[in-house]
Structure 1
Amino acid sequence: MSKKILITETVLRDAHQSLLATRMPLSDMVPILEQMDKIGFYSLECWGGATFDACLRFLNEDPWERLRTIRKMCPNTKLQMLFRGQNMLGYRHYADDVLEYFVQRSVANGIDIIRIFDALNDIKNLEVAIKAAKKEGAHAQVAISYTTGPVFTNEYYVNYAKTIENAGADSICIKDMAALLTPYETYELVKEIKAAVKIPVQIHTHYTSGLASMCLLKGIEAGADMIDTAMSPLALGTSHAPTESMVAALQGTEYDTGLDLMALSEIREYFMTLREKYIKEGLLDPKMLATDAKALIYQVPGGMLSNLLSQLKQAGKADQLTAV
């Protein structure tokens, strides 16, 4: 039985957060948005995470205006954001009424899917956000923050997936931000979670350790419904598996995404030009594009590595990245 795999394109948020410390301005997105809207992505991840902070602190942008602009230019594609539960888009806990109003305004300004996570997998930090998202009519996707260790067994993750479903989530995302998943572990984990819950399962894994494409493929074979990818010029390294490569890998199979590779190649050309510009300007360090299997040991998330390098450069200590 055929099963179309849905793709969340991350180039407008997590890809550049992971490669160039969230420094892609709205002006670099606008020229390609209408073309991206025609592709047929399941969703465009374009807001939340560090984008709110980066817009205000580094880009001199209004993050709300960014969202409204993308919404206006992408009327046919669901827009997705990353939301840190009770931390929202900040770096501390916020009151329930503040969170509820923020979710209300996010949906009113164009967000369709809210991916909600807590770094410690504490459901208490997610419950208010889940209820707020559903109240506003948004899709509440709750993420499992994946890591390794004696207590983090498949049984632990399956139990947490059940808790997430019982809390009212519309779907689950296995969020492997530090690129720790391996292909066969992905297969077993997805298989067990799919057997335990009825809601869709999405896979989010970074390419830092070089395993992302293999993990996505094994996860798809195990029953995953959606995957996160990034347009190839801003894929690999600390980012995600390339969108075009995954579309090609699944083409003609029971998992065919239905996306047009020729249409994607036109979008690729645009982002290739941007990549060259970012490298020339020093925003994108080639180190971030490389595979580093040591990530399996140091376990630093992809989105953190580019920001860490940026801060070390500001301090004149970029040569100390490995030591840090």
Structure 2
Amino acid sequence: MTRIGYTLMTEQSGPRSLVDQAAHAERAGFDFEVMSDHYFPWLSAQGHASYAWSVLGAVAQVTEHVDLMTYVTCPILRYHPAVVAQKAATLGVLSEGRFTLGLGAGENLNEHVVGLGWPSIDARQDMLGEAIEIIRALFEGELVTYDGEHYRVDSARLWDLPDRPVPLATAVSGEKSVRRFAPLSDHLVGVQPEPDLVATWNGVDGAPRIGDGARAIGQLPICWDPDRDAAVARAHDQFRWFAGGWAVNSDLPTTAGFAGATQFVRPEDVADNIPCGPDLDAVVKAVSAFWEAGFTDVALVQVGDEMTGRFLDEAAGPLLAALRDAAPSAP
């Protein structure tokens, strides 16, 4: 059965609102919750970008059973991988084993702030590979010294660790990244419902098999609102960047860049890509593309902070029931 998650969007909600949403989403019946880890919103209209790790610490204390995850953290520039390992281990302890560390090669939007430039995709993937090696080693609880091409670690050790190592989920986008990171990861993260991602992952020697312990975790924006026109307008205002695709989104450095790149995206273009309005069947249809592609988990994004409370109160319950009725049973 596909697991349905809720996305805590640091770009569109302030930190106190995110903590409230986390508790509310657990009560509504979501299976897991993911949190974006950004320094900038995508567009200025979203208006927020709090520090995900502080918020996750609070979320771990107001929730009891939902799994938690970063979707995703970039451990290559803004954060050193040794520090990411410490943060993740601490969340693992605070959440009593409910935390998964989602990792990816990042976006210029968030990483440029430390003034180290923006490497090519090949360099970023090399850096991510080294970062995962460091994080894995530190999760063992032993003293770690590492001398790589991109990172050095000098006699580091994590002193507070959960009972079991924090699982790692890595964002992949094509055959090259799948083959590189599947053997280093516990789970797959994919932003599009592409069957080839899952099929390729399951064919890589040494990779944990999706559907047999490993998860394939996707994400889908929706804009629920009783008024469809209001939903389309809100999605266009705050989420039209989604139309650019990740090949573009990963390289743009500022919210002004995203505004410029999306200036000709029309409201109807956004509505073609994001289910908008009160029609829950449209959401089920959009989510079904993920389970048909072999994904085991899908995290929904409710676009717009102003409607999250009503969405969780009025729509989440019926939507979760419809999704669980429609989802295929586990083999």
Give the TM-score of the pair, scaled to structure 2. Answer: 0.47
